[in-house]
Structure 1
């Protein structure tokens, strides 16, 4: 699976691409504004000009949600974090930010280049949603943020340093966390030990939705989740898009009770039909998604399984 379409909604709002010539919506605060460089190889100043044009036409306090698409040579130039940080005094109403919202045609997810995104959390203390796509060069330092309720890192390979930093952040309001762990070929080097602070949940007291998905180590993650303290307070557990096999599911179901969950996502998996049926049968009050079963590729003694999102 590749990401082939742009999002049409973000943080519950319809996404509208900013067009300098187009008429503004009747209520510009009720849309998520999408801003992108005009050309795939645009220099940095062209994205800056687009953001400046947006701010000149839309009242700053009406820009609640911002979706940043291609910024020009995204495979070679890091995301415009410094630019967004510099605009914080003007973007006083910003509550949700999606950085790097690109399809594979605009830039493969594993090519999207980032830098240190910590400054965004420091510059926007009222930010409630931060979603980042791509992880090449991505860095994060542990911070405390009082308002953030949703944090997501979408990637084909998430660095262990970022996973550990997330676990070391103090996020008292966070209810939704997504980590697309990915595979080693695209930069993933996190282990279940790196996930320990997240699975412990001490710094995430409000967490209700946890996604540890798109994982090349899905079986190991499932086994760790089976005894993780944070699971007891979750409503949604998402282990989808990965390479889970019967061994991972067996470990998960043999662990702590999951009957309190509202939803368990396992779609895109390598479970046998019998195992998938068992997951549904053992959790009758839970919405269990075991759709999109995959078949492993075999080449002699080698067996290959693939996450939903890689390159």
Structure 2
């Protein structure tokens, strides 16, 4: 599976595409009513992203903008968004109400997720201390150093392969308000090199005192993650656990069920999995009577009959 659609909403606001350079910016919605998506053509764009952003801030009242989606920049498959970041940081005083920012809302037709060149997103978090939500797509050249951010409630990192240094940077960060952490770990083929030990700070949960929704997904080591979560202290205070989009099979599912109780969860998301029908039924019988919403949609079949071989993540290239 690839990412074929842009974000439909951010921060509870519907996404709205700011018109391109060849379109009239007439009849625009109220600046605070939508999540504005600003992007340019990935291939042979007639303007740079920062030029489109300048048009945007001239056409709407930036002081009222609450959510901003950074779409494709020119040649995202070959160039990072350093100029994008510079433009955003230069405008931060004019964006006092910005509470949600997503960088890299790029579909496969614009640039495959594994081809997206990213950059150091840490200055964005430092420059926008009032952000409640931050997301980024693309793992190549992505840098996330350890930061402290007092306000951030949701952090989402979507990749086909998440570098271990990014995992460690997030794990070492001080995010006292974070309630929702969503990491797409990916595959080693596309740069994923984190091991279970690197996830231990998330599993312990001590650095994330308000965490309620944890997603460690889209991973080729999904069974190992499930087994580690079976005894992880963080689980007892979660209301949502998401191990979807990865290579989860019977071994990981059994370890999860045989570990600590999960009946306090509101939702267990396991969609896109390699779990047998018998094990899936066991999960349902164990959790659904307690009121846990279990998502076991999108059952997959491995490429070969080896117990652990032939599996694939939902999003890679």
Question: Scaled by the length of structure 2, what TM-score is found?
Answer: 0.94
Q: Is the 8 A contact 2:187 2:316 kept in 1?
A: yes
Q: What's the CA shift for 1:46? A: 2.0
Q: What's the CA shift for 1:171? A: 0.7
Q: Is the 8 A contact 1:166 1:198 kept in 2?
A: no
Q: What's the CA shift for 1:299? A: 7.8
Task: Give the 3 Å change call, closer, same or farther, for CA 87–188 of structure 1 in structure 2.
Answer: same
- CA distance, structure 2, for counterparts of residue 205 and residue 24 of structure 1: 44
Q: What residue number does 2:26 align with?
A: 23
Matches within 5 A, 1:70-219: 70-79=72-81, 80-219=84-223
Task: Give the 3 Å change call, closer, same or farther, for CA 120–94 of structure 1 in structure 2.
Answer: same
Task: Give the 3 Å change call, closer, same or farther, for CA 36–184 of structure 1 in structure 2.
Answer: same
2:36 to 28, 33, 38: 33
- CA distance, structure 1, for counterparts of residue 41 and residue 248 of structure 2: 41
> Number of residue pairs matched?
310
- CA distance, structure 1, for counterparts of residue 305 and residue 268 of structure 2: 32
- Is 1:57 the counterpart of 2:63? The answer is no
SS in 2 for 1:89: helix
Gaps of 5+ in 2: none
Task: Give the 3 Å change call, closer, same or farther, for CA 163–301 of structure 1 in structure 2.
Answer: closer
2:230 to 226, 231, 242: 226
Q: Is the 8 A contact 2:42 2:111 kept in 1?
A: no
Q: What residue number does 1:307 align with?
A: 313
- CA distance, structure 2, for counterparts of residue 193 and residue 89 of structure 1: 40
Q: What's the CA shift for 1:302? A: 8.8
Q: What's the CA shift for 1:40? A: 2.3
Q: What residue number does 1:287 align with?
A: 293
Task: Give the 3 Å change call, closer, same or farther, for CA 302–167 of structure 1 in structure 2.
Answer: closer
Task: Give the 3 Å change call, closer, same or farther, for CA 299–248 of structure 1 in structure 2.
Answer: closer
Q: Is the 8 A contact 1:40 1:71 kept in 2?
A: no
SS in 1 for 2:92: coil
Structure 1: which 4+ aligned runs deviate by more than 6 Å?
Answer: 299-302
How much is the aligned-residue C-alpha RMSD, in angstroms? 1.6
Q: Is the 8 A contact 2:92 2:127 kept in 1?
A: yes
Question: Scaled by the length of structure 1, what TM-score is found?
Answer: 0.96
- CA distance, structure 2, for counterparts of residue 238 and residue 280 of structure 1: 16
- CA distance, structure 2, for counterparts of residue 270 and residue 26 of structure 1: 44
- CA distance, structure 2, for counterparts of residue 39 and residue 163 of structure 1: 28
Q: What's the CA shift for 1:26? A: 4.6
